[in-house]
Chain A
Amino acid sequence: MKRLRISVVISIIAAIAIGTALFRISQRVQSAESDLHQLTEAVTRERQTIRVLKAEWDYLNRPDRLENLARTHLGMVSPENGQIGSGYPQPPAAPEPEAVRAQPVSLAPAPPSVKPAPPAGLSPVREKGGRDFRTLIDELDSGKGSP
């Protein structure tokens, strides 16, 4: 009898212990899953907030709004004719092919007016490749005077 009771008791205890362990693991997993779900939802909400903020940013940076603000608070206006200048003498623009100027009449094929390399000053400031060495040196000397 006693032996039976002990083994029964042990098996009951073992069963309870295993059951408890299982239960705990299961609960931990579920809790982790719930956390994951909440985090995913939070990420989605933040992403949505970022979209809203980006729209708001571009809305606040509308050109007409910035123009009004600049005028009101900084006294800035659009440039007038003649206010933008190059300041230093530029090398002459690619001269017209001699043939065109010397003979106004010419049914003979004139040298084709392919696009000459843009005169140094007329390229956007970012295209450094289009400048010539002299202009670059001038610029560096005067500390980037072009607007």
Chain B
Amino acid sequence: MTALPLHLRGKERISGTRRSALETARGRMVFVSAIFALLYVMIAARLVDLTIIQGELRGNERGASIISGSGENPERSQNRADIVDRNGVLLATSLETPSLYADPALIREPEKTAAALVEIIPGLTYGDVLQKLQHKGRFIWIKRNLTPQEQYAVLTLGEPGLEFRNEMRRIYPQGPLAAHMVGFTDVDGHGLAGVERSFDGLLNGSDDEPLRVTLDIRIQHAVRRELMQAIADFSAKGGAGVVMDIETGEILAAVSLPDFDPHDAGNAGKDMLFNRLTLGVYEMGSTFKIFSTAALLETLGLPMGTAFDAREPIKRGRFTISDFHPEKRDLTIPEVFMYSSNIGAALMGEKVGTKVLRGFYEDLGLLSPSSLEIEEIGKPLYPQPWRDINTLTASYGHGIAVSPLQLVAAAGGIIGDGTLVHPTLILHDRDSEKSQKSPEVRIVSPQTAHRMRQLLRLVVTNGTGKSADVPGYSMGGKTGTAEQPGAKGGYDEKRLISSFIGFFPMEAPRYAVFAMVDEPKGTKSSFGYATGAWVAAPAVGSIVLNMASIMGISPGSTPPEQDMAAGLKQYLRNNKEGKNLASFSSE
């Protein structure tokens, strides 16, 4: 290589191997910088994408979620299942409501905020709220389950320290109508009474299927209305009513009064929360004659014409058993039942014998608590040990206390087809029921059942139950007027439990209708009487009439000579068919 003069060296063209090396180097540098340029462009584009464009997309969602509160609670807890009646009408459901809480650290002027809150939300006191807003911490509930209007008003305050969280609240659209049976929950959704409590686990489970109960809300309303009327008319303390399908044991209506608003159960009085139908046990009185008479007919098979000496009250030791309106003569079995003679019933019970009668009552389920699917079940009270004198009183329904539901189920078993009835509140699928039918327990023969139906029909056609009669529906039943035990032992004749249990249609009884009134007081129009015949029987009649039109049961017409009770008329001596026996109301 010739050395070039210095001033020409830079301008010399590079050639040969040195040239290609440089070119390669240059090419590589261009390549690499191109890649870097590309990378920077990609990063810049991604930045734009992430911040601006995504921000646009998500911006709308964020705003909405703040207001709805769901952003705070992304995982909503599973809905508690609904409770519906047999026709699908909602009895209990859970709805989302906003609950207000405060973050005290973010609240600048607690006094002003507290004052504003007290104006918006009823039920808050200024001092209480102020204390909460000054609380040390980041979270404190102010008020749970607000209405949408209240929530809107709080939002317009624009206070950043007040926020919402959605909570499920249990709503009962029917209000107090089925309050005892459906029950209620606490604020956290745990059942405290009724079906809400006994099926708490099932309702909170993953199943979203509503729980169907056997109640029919229309009939429930009819029963409640008639009972309330009776209680108001006779200034009573309370009452209970039930309508049961005695073929299946399904309870179509179950009412206990006074009742309460399940939304406000915390403020309800003890008397209102008390379930008189299932939890209360009472000496039911003459309605028990159904059981003692059935026991007599079933175990001894005596003819209907058998007479019992009811001329004089019975004296055993220091006890006297007398009739309310004594007939003072021999009475045949139908007459004992129709005039509701305590003496006659006691003699019948004596004839059956203590062991047999007690066993019969036990088989009827009167000595053990009902198996209904709620927890508010009362334990029956009966004499232990059971002596002969107890047999006498138990025959006409004293000295033994059962819940009204037990009474209805036991009577329904006898009158139905002679097999035990198990009351139930839960509607079962027809298919599953057939496959799992529990074996039927027979308590009386079909012949005895037939005779009992005749007797009950007689009570309505000729006896104390006349005011329960509904033409065309062949009603049968039994009145009951029981004095309640007095404070100092003995019985208080001013405090009565007046009841009536009815069945229809008597040729093939399908439904049992029962009404009980607690401590009714006689009025002018009832001539001072407050017995089952005056107080409860008319209510049952009205209920049946309403039931018939609700359920579309058309009436029949049976000529009097073919009536169920016609065959018993021959056993009525001194036949007083023309006289209105309801005014005697002998119990």
Among A79, A93, A113, the residue within 8 A (CB) of B545 is: A79
Cβ-based interface call for B441 (8 A): no
Give the complex CA separation of A37 and B58 in angstroms.
10
Per-residue interface assignment for chain B, residues 201 to 238, with 1 indicating a CB less than 8 Å from any chain A CB and 0 otherwise: 00000000000000001101110010000000000000
Q: Closest residue to B305 on the A side, CB-wise?
A: A104
* Given A85-B471, A85-B472, A125-B552, A31 contacting B57 (CB threshold 8 A): yes
CA distance A35 to B354 in the complex (A): 80
Contact B567 A100 (CB under 8 A): yes
| Contact of B303 with A by CB under 8 A | yes
Query: For residue A125, which residues in chain B have a CB less than 8 angstroms away from its CB?
Result: 552-554
Decide: A90 near B562, CB < 8 A? Known: A79-B545, A124-B552. Answer: no
Q: Across the interface, do B177 and A147 meet the contact criterion of CB distance under 8 Å?
A: no
Nearest residue, chain B, Cβ from A97: B450
Which bracket fits the contact residues of A? 35 or more
Q: How far is the CA of A35 from the CA of B342 in the complex (A)?
A: 80
Q: Which residue on chain B has the smallest CB distance to residue A38?
A: B61
B304 at the interface (CB under 8 A from A): yes
Asked if A93 and B558 make an inter-chain contact with CB atoms under 8 angstroms apart, the answer reads yes
**Are A63 and B470 touching (Cβ within 8 A)?**
no
On whether the beta carbons of A52 and B567 are closer than 8 Å, the reply is: no
> Chain B, 44-57, contact with A by CB distance < 8 Å: what is the 0/1 string?
01000100011001
Closest chain-A Cβ to B236's Cβ sits at a distance in Å of 20
**Interface pair B34/A54, CB less than 8 Å apart:** no
Cβ contacts under 8 Å, A115 to chain B: 417, 508
Q: Is the CB of B96 within 8 A of A1?
A: no
Please report the C-alpha to C-alpha distance between residue A23 and residue B50 in the assembled complex, in whole angstroms: 12
Query: Given contacts A12-B38, A64-B225, A82-B471, is CB(A30)–CB(B93) below 8 Å?
Result: no
Which chain B residues border A58 with CB–CB below 8 Å? 89-90, 173-174
Beyond A52-B95, A64-B221, A125-B554, whether A27 also contacts B305 by CB under 8 A is no
**A81 to B543 CA separation, bound complex (whole angstroms):** 11
Which chain A positions have C-beta within 8 A of B34? 8, 11-12
- Determine the chain B residues whose CB is within 8 A of the CB of A81 once the complex forms: 469-471, 541, 545
Other-chain contact of A105, B90, B305, B447, B541 (Cβ < 8 Å): B305
Q: Which residues of A contact B93 (CB under 8 A)?
A: 51, 54-55
Q: Give chain A residues whose Cβ lies under 8 Å from the Cβ of B54.
A: 30
Across the interface, do B507 and A63 meet the contact criterion of CB distance under 8 Å? no
Q: Are A78 and B542 in contact (CB under 8 A)?
A: yes
Residues of A within 8 A of B27 (CB): 4
Would B508 and A116 count as touching, CB distance under 8 A? yes
B-facing mask of A51-88, CB < 8 A → 1, else 0? 11011101101111001000000000011111011100
- Could you name 21 residue pairs across A and B whose Cβ atoms are closer than 8 Å? A27-B53, A41-B61, A54-B90, A58-B90, A58-B174, A63-B218, A86-B556, A86-B557, A93-B558, A96-B566, A104-B570, A104-B571, A105-B303, A106-B303, A114-B417, A118-B507, A120-B556, A123-B554, A124-B551, A126-B552, A146-B554
A-B complex: 10 closest residue pairs judged by Cβ atoms: A113-B450, A63-B221, A121-B556, A59-B173, A105-B303, A112-B446, A58-B90, A115-B508, A58-B173, A122-B556
Given contacts A86-B554, A124-B554, 20 further A-B contacts (CB under 8 A): A11-B34, A12-B34, A45-B68, A51-B95, A54-B93, A55-B93, A55-B95, A62-B175, A63-B218, A80-B545, A81-B469, A81-B470, A84-B555, A85-B471, A101-B567, A119-B556, A119-B558, A122-B508, A125-B552, A147-B549
